[in-house]
Amino acid sequence: MRNLLRRTVPLAIGALLCGLAAAPAAAAQPPPVTVQLLDITDFHGHLQPPAPGDGGTVTGPDGRTVTVGGAAYLAAQLERLRAGHRNTVTFATGDSFSGWPFEVDAFRDEPTVEVLNRLGLRFSAAGNHELDVSPGFLVDHMEHGRCFGTVDRDSCFTDSTGRRFHGADFDFQSANLVDAATGRPVLAPYRVEWFDGPGGTRLPVGFIGLTIPDTPTGSTSFQPGLRALDELRTADRYAAELRRKGVRAIVLNVHDGGAQRDPAAGYDGCGSAWGPAIDLAARVSPDIDAITTGHWHHAFRCVLPDPAGNPRPVLEAGHHGGVVSEIDLALDPRTGEVIRDRTTSVNHPVTRDLPPDPAVQRITDYWVDRAAERRSEPLARQTGSFTRAEDADGESTAADFFADVQLWDAARTPGGHADLALLAARPAVGATAVRGDLPYDRGDTPGDADGRVLLGESWDAYGYGNPVLSVKLTGSRLKAVLEQQWQSRSDGSVRFAPLAVSGNVSYRYDPQRPVGRRIDPAEVLIGGKPLDLRRTYRVAALAYTVVGGDGYPAFSGYTDPVRCGTDHEVLVDYLRAHPVISPAPLDRVRRTA
């Protein structure tokens, strides 16, 4: 039964007056078929309730803060919402996995898939983070459960039922991501779901998936083998194709987002929403009857006119499992068309006042416990401390070590072998991947680990889920990158944003010289040879640095990118391959005066 206390929104002002005027004719029409759409977005593997500053609270319509989130509470809310609905489907708008909680990240996001399977997810738009490894990883491993590496260490972990990971019970769509070489879609562009109509009939609803266009060059997804098609033209194309196939009800499920200019409007308001998804909603084909969005981690519910002037719902469901978007499509049982003025929408907070779903709570607890065990897995031994403490030239043992790890990773990647590695130890903007220290424990007291480096320690010390890239830079651009460690500010001061260099590099700089002219190429030695401004070098760096996120714009001239491993996993692999590690002396960077 429909919850009569639930706040819903009619999609056409004046519909009641029109209905009254047409009452005699309407009486002869069959009642509409209601199809309930339940959408979540940007879950990012948050099985446990997120912290208040990380999606654990939302603003309600009355301006009050509402505590939300947690997979077990999400499951309970979904069951409550589905109750009494004959036709209902649950789906996602991307970035469900490739999250940051250790209990999912350290198990290749398989715990997230186990939970989503239990939630009854039917399909999902591919978000940029679903491509954080590769299209093959998404399809072969996450969808189909194909194993790689060592089972139960690198992939195909034993799940909470005692069985091996089997993949997702749902699939992914992206109409606008294609193979850069062939132009062919890498995923299905849309999915058609069928729902019960009167007298045993079945009514189709089509769902077109779109992925944010910067996915091929995004800092975490970075897939140069992909190309993104124009969102508007792609959505219009497939809407027309679905119509030709007889599908009259169409939903655009787009992993691209928006936000409210007035956040006080709350999770169920519109608040003068803006952003690329809102712009798209104003232009995309009127054949599309509803739009669900994601990526921006905001929650809003709007009713906006399509290009023909007809209102349609546009909703985003926040992030980290804190909000569920509901659209109740009203379908004409004779034609399958959406009756816009009978369609309603609402955003629901995933409050924690319902009892958590016990089955999903068991899954969550299982992976949290396994994560605690995995954090204690020994990887290597260290003979001294690796710390972020910088000397006067910006060098630290931790940053130097992680730069060496990046160079090693490029060397083992086909086509990626690099001449040097750079790491933003203290970026001009953004956050550093040098996140923690690896202090040396001498084992002087009972129970001490005697210098062991544990998996959890390595995970906390370096990385944030970013891939290492090997790119080509000319010698002149490489010099420009090094010079951009010193950047002039508007107040006349100079910001110092040191870059760590790999152990095969050393250089001197003169702090008395003007910004942009502090390094003499002859004083930069790479593999023992001076920097040649006319030569092309391969440089290993994190994608966020390469694409400009760390504030070194000279990187923009890079060419021929090769994607290597992802930071966390790269360090784990390095430590497994090097059973004893020692901090190097801080002698890679020196000042001349």
Answer whether residue 11 shows pLDDT above 60. Answer: no
Chain-centre distance of CA 464, in angstroms?
Answer: 12
| pLDDT for the residue 4 | 30
In whole angstroms, what is the distance from residue 508 CA to residue 527 CA? 15
| pLDDT for the residue 401 | 98
In whole angstroms, what is the distance from residue 81 CA to residue 179 CA? 39
| pLDDT for the residue 426 | 97
| pLDDT for the residue 28 | 67
| pLDDT for the residue 357 | 98
432 contacts 504 by C-beta, under 8 angstroms: no
Render pLDDT for 169-218 as a digit per residue (tens, 0 to 9): 999 999 999 999 999 999 999 999 999 999 999 999 999 999 999 999 99
Phi, psi of 589 (to 5 degrees): -130, 130
- Give me 288's structure tokens: 């599309």
Answer whether residue 449 shows pLDDT above 90. Answer: no
Q: What are 209's strand-pairing partners?
A: 253
Helix (H) or strand (E) holding 276: helix 276-283
DSSP 483-527: HTTEEE-TTS-EEE--EEE-TTEEEEE-TTSPTT----GGGEEET
Mean pLDDT of the chain: 93
Q: Which long-range contacts (CB under 8 A, 24 or more apart) does 483-486 make?
A: 483/515, 483/516, 483/517, 483/518, 483/519, 483/554, 484/428, 484/551, 484/552, 484/553, 484/554, 485/394, 486/515, 486/516, 486/518
- Residue 190 CB: number of other CB atoms within 10 A? 24
Answer whether residue 428 shows pLDDT above 90. Answer: yes
DSSP 295-359: SS--EEEEEEE-TTS-EEEEEEE-STT-EEEEEEEEE-TTT--B-GGG-EEEEEE-BS-SPPPHH
In whole angstroms, what is the distance from residue 30 CA to residue 330 CA? 12
In whole angstroms, what is the distance from residue 576 CA to residue 207 CA? 44
Residue 101: what residue type?
P
Vertex 372 angle, CA 467 and 75, to 5°? 85
Phi, psi of 245 (to 5 degrees): -85, 5
| pLDDT for the residue 309 | 96
Pairing of strands 33-40, 323-331: antiparallel
523 contacts 589 by C-beta, under 8 angstroms: no
| pLDDT for the residue 29 | 82
| pLDDT for the residue 521 | 98
Of residues 447 and 544, more confidently modeled = 544
Render pLDDT for 470-482 as a digit per residue (tens, 0 to 9): 999 999 999 999 9
| Mean pLDDT value across residues 2-6 | 31
| Mean pLDDT value across residues 270-297 | 98
Banded model confidence at residue 443, pLDDT cuts 50, 70, 90: low
- Give me 41's structure tokens: 């977005």
In whole angstroms, what is the distance from residue 175 CA to residue 178 CA? 8
Answer whether residue 455 shows pLDDT above 70. Answer: yes
| pLDDT for the residue 5 | 29
Answer whether residue 19 shows pLDDT above 60. Answer: no
- Give me 529's structure tokens: 């040879």
Say if residue 393 is exposed, middle or buried (CB neighbours under 10 Å; 0-12, 13-18, 19+). Answer: middle
| pLDDT for the residue 399 | 98
Phi, psi of 135 (to 5 degrees): -60, -35
Answer whether residue 17 shows pLDDT above 90. Answer: no
Torsion of Cα atoms, 293 then 296 then 300 then 305, to 10°: -50
| pLDDT for the residue 450 | 75
| Mean pLDDT value across residues 440-452 | 65
Name 420's Cβ contacts closer than 8 Å, sequence gap at least 6: 407, 501, 502, 504, 505, 526, 527, 537, 539, 540
Render pLDDT for 352-364 as a digit per residue (tens, 0 to 9): 999 999 999 999 9
| Mean pLDDT value across residues 107-132 | 98
Answer whether residue 40 shows pLDDT above 60. Answer: yes
pTM metric for this prediction: 0.92
| pLDDT for the residue 447 | 45
| pLDDT for the residue 22 | 42
568 contacts 409 by C-beta, under 8 angstroms: no
